[in-house]
Structure formats: C-alpha cells, structure tokens
C-alpha cells in the first residue's frame, strides 16, 4: 500500500487475475486415470491433459458448492437462492437435463458432460468439420461463429439456445466469403493460362 501523499504508480502492472485454472492429480502415475485422460484427449481432440484437468476443477468446484448447500435446511434462503442459480447455469449450458432439478444430480456430474458442450465437439457433431481435430483447426483459424460473434476458442462452452446459431463465419471461404490464398493463386494462374491461349 503506498504511503499517504505518494501517488500510486500502476505503470506496466497487470491487473489480470493469475490464479490457476487447473489442478494436477495427486497421484501422477495412476494407470487407470492416465488411460482415461488419454482417451478423453483422443475422443474430444484436446491439446493436452491440462484441458481435462481444467474441466475437472470446474466440475469439482460445482460439486463442492452443491455439497455445502445440501448440508443446509431445505427452506434456507441461501440454499434456495444459490441452489437455483447453480441449477439454472447447468441447464443453460446443457450440462444437465432440464428435468434434473435437484442438487443431488450435481454430485453425479461426469467429465464427459462438460466435454460434450465444448464448441469443438459441437462443430464436429453438427457436420461442419470432417473430424474432431479438423473442428479445432477451423475454430482456431476463425472460420466458426456463434450467432454474430466469431469464436476462436475450442473450449468455449455453448449455451443451449446458441447451439442452433453455430455456423461458418461470413468472412470465411466456407461461409461464402473471399476465397483462400491458395484458391486465389490457382484462379489467377488459370486466368493467366486462358489469356495465353487466347493470344495464340
């Protein structure tokens, strides 16, 4: 804290929150867990295991909140308010079905429930990409939009109402935009060849 009278200097200081978004496993060489993580990486086209750990930390935090709320009385205002907010959030993102309206269901969440709602998974399942890895490339190269917003984050969690608005970007060659670099080069060389033939 600066002394009284001294002006605070924030030049070059980053105000971003740098807390960790993932937690490494306690037992690093557990065979069953290693195999399961590798399966997730292959099935959902993840870059590394850190992406699995990040999802697992999100899930652990939600389950922890649900456990704490379940210890309170059913009529407790905190349980009613925070419990409804948690369930509403899970329903909005399609992680949990609408008919599952109890906090007990939050405790039975699985890693797959979160991975299924990633933009990368949905782009592949909607048939916009040939494979799960192709879906990641399309997203990173800014070919995919959700509504009007171009999204280049493969781990973006898609809301249920936004799912039907996933499509190719308007500026993308796949969405009727300007052709790509190689396509333009081919068209230019073809046009040049046609002009040479006309001169002959």
pLDDT in tens, 143-184: 999 999 999 999 999 999 999 999 999 999 888 878 878 888
Distance CA 175, CA 167 (A): 8
Long-range Cβ contact pairs of 34-40 (< 8 A, separation 24 or more): 40/111, 40/115
DSSP 127: T
Q: What pLDDT score does 193 carry? A: 66
Which helix H or strand E contains 145, and what residues bound it?
strand 144-146
Report the predicted TM-score, pTM, of the whole model to 2 decimal places. 0.82
**Residue 120 in 3-state DSSP?**
helix
- Residue range 38-50, pLDDT digits in tens: 999 999 999 999 9
Average pLDDT value for the chain: 89
Q: Are 111 and 37 in contact (CB under 8 A)?
A: no
Averaged pLDDT, 15-41: 92
- Residue with structure tokens 């048939």? 127
């Amino acid at each position: 804290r600066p002394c009284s009278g001294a002006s605070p200097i924030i030049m070059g200081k980053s105000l971003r929150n740098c807390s960790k978004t993932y937690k490494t496993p306690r037992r690093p060489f557990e065979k069953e867990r290693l195999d399961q993580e590798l399966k997730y990486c292959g099935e959902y086209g993840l870059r590394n295991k850190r992406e699995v750990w990040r999802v697992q930390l999100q899930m652990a935090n939600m389950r922890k909140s649900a456990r704490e709320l379940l210890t309170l009385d059913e009529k407790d205002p905190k349980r009613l308010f925070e419990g409804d907010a948690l369930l509403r959030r899970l329903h909005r993102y399609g992680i949990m079905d609408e008919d599952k309206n109890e906090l007990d269901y939050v405790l039975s969440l699985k890693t797959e429930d979160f991975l299924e709602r990633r933009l990368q998974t949905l782009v592949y399942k909607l048939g916009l990409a040939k494979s799960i890895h192709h879906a990641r490339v399309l997203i990173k190269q800014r070919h995919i939009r959700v509504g009007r917003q171009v999204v280049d984050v493969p781990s973006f969690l898609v809301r249920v109402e936004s799912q039907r608005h996933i499509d190719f970007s308007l500026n993308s060659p796949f969405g009727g935009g300007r052709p790509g670099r190689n396509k333009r080069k081919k068209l230019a060389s073809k046009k040049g060849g046609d002009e040479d033939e006309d001169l002959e």
